[in-house]
Amino acid sequence: MSIDSRLLTSLEHNLGPVIMSALRDPDVVEIMLNPDGKIWIEKLGFEMTSVSEMATEKARLILSLVASGLDTVVTPEHPIVEGELPLDGSRFEGLLPPIVSAPSFTIRKKASRVFGLDEYVRTGIMDAALISLFQDALTSRINILVVGGTGSGKTTLVNALIRALADICPADRLLILEDTMELQSKSPNTVFFRTSDHVDMRRLVKVTMRYRPTRIIIGEVRDGAALDLLKAWNTGHPGGIATVHANSAAEGLDRLEELIAEATTAPKQKLISKSVGMVVFIERSPGGRRIAEVLRVTGYDAQTHKYQTEVVFHA
């Protein structure tokens, strides 16, 4: 048995049956261990639930095993381990004291299956009227900005939109850019790009321009890459999708301004209004996740300094 195999076996054993079962459950989207030892899981369409507990030393060992699988170390001097879970590629974020009171981690699962828009309706996350709205937007090559807070379901929704693209526009060439591999595509002509320590998202966006894209999709826009993306969307490559962190659909446009400001001081509101055609706000509500608002962006009023938008859906 190779060293890698032994590490994976040990990691699976120490994660235990509760977490391993959750990793195999296609409805589970996130697994969390709090410093108090409680394990929480979240399933699509439902609230987080406490399901079990874990001893501190076992949690510490899990962080060490994951760090080894990622060819790094986690110590009090370097208390953060982040990357892809060696078992299945899910996103792993683990912490040690002193930045938390006891070992803790969060596993954002890599989807074992992609939920379709019809399943969003069935689980109550989305109103049935939005299916045709999204299908029309994809067919019309409208650039879609998906907005929400941490854990609101932005990535899962983008996966659903990409799945719809495979049916609506199967001949399109999709270029998908991410920091962590979370998006999936069944479109036959898809190329996945991933940032590295030496190649950031801005560089990747520029690279895609020479890769003959039909559509450019970014898992999450975090920095000045927003400027390069909007330029790409606005110069012959419409029909893209991207996500940003924000607390409302309108604030998503403001967030783009902030990100663009990391790359240039020149005002870019007109570029934003010309490039982004639809903003979809998804939130985590008391009853689970839901698509709360959809805006259509029609322009920017330089006199009032406000985006011109139309609310096409509000929950």
Q: What angle do CA 178, 87, 208 make, to 5 degrees?
A: 15
In this prediction, residue 100 carries a pLDDT of 97
213: Cβ contacts below 8 Å, ≥ 6 apart: 173, 174, 175, 232, 237
Dihedral pair phi/psi, residue 177, rounded to 5° = -115, 135
pLDDT reading at 217 higher than 60? yes
* b/e 127-146 (16+ beta carbons within 10 angstroms → b): beebbebbbebbeebbbbbb
In this prediction, residue 1 carries a pLDDT of 40
| Longest pairwise C-alpha distance within the chain | 69
* Cα distance between residue 83 and residue 91, in whole Å: 6
Mean pLDDT, the chain, rounded, equals 94
pTM of the model: 0.82
The C-alpha torsion from 190 through 195 and 200 to 201, rounded to 10°, is 40
Delimit the CATH 3.40.50.300 region(s) of the chain.
Answer: 117-314
In this prediction, residue 268 carries a pLDDT of 94
Under the banding of pLDDT at 50, 70 and 90, the label for residue 280 is very high
pLDDT digits (tens, 9 = 90+) for 27-74: 898 999 999 999 999 987 788 999 999 999 999 999 999 999 999 999
* Structure tokens given for 137: 């937007």
Delimit the CATH 3.30.450.90 region(s) of the chain.
Answer: 3-108
Provide the residue type at 172 as one letter.
Answer: D
pLDDT digits (tens, 9 = 90+) for 103-127: 999 999 887 778 899 999 998 999 9
8 A C-beta contact, residue 176 and residue 219: yes
* Structure tokens given for 88: 């299945």
Instruction: Single out the residue of 85, 314, 297 nearest to residue 180, CA to CA.
Output: 85
Provide CATH code, domain 3-108.
3.30.450.90
**% the chain with pLDDT above 90:** 84
* Cα distance between residue 255 and residue 246, in whole Å: 7
**% the chain with pLDDT above 70:** 99
**Cα separation values, 183 from 71, 255, 297, Å:** 24, 22, 25
pLDDT reading at 3 higher than 80? no
Q: Parallel, antiparallel, or unpaired for β 288-301 and 306-314?
A: antiparallel
In this prediction, residue 151 carries a pLDDT of 83
pLDDT reading at 221 higher than 80? yes
Dihedral pair phi/psi, residue 93, rounded to 5° = -130, 115
Asked if the peptide bond before residue 188 counts as cis, ω within 30 degrees of 0, the response is: no
8 A C-beta contact, residue 217 and residue 187: no
Query: Looking at per-residue confidence, does 98 or 29 come out higher?
Result: 98
pLDDT digits (tens, 9 = 90+) for 192-208: 999 988 999 999 999 99
pLDDT reading at 299 higher than 70? yes
Query: Average of pLDDT values for 250-264?
Result: 96
Under the banding of pLDDT at 50, 70 and 90, the label for residue 224 is very high
Query: Looking at per-residue confidence, does 196 or 312 come out higher?
Result: 312
The three-class DSSP label of residue 285 is strand
Q: Which CATH code of 3.20.20.80, 3.40.50.300, 3.40.1390.10, 3.40.50.1980 fits the domain covering 117-314?
A: 3.40.50.300
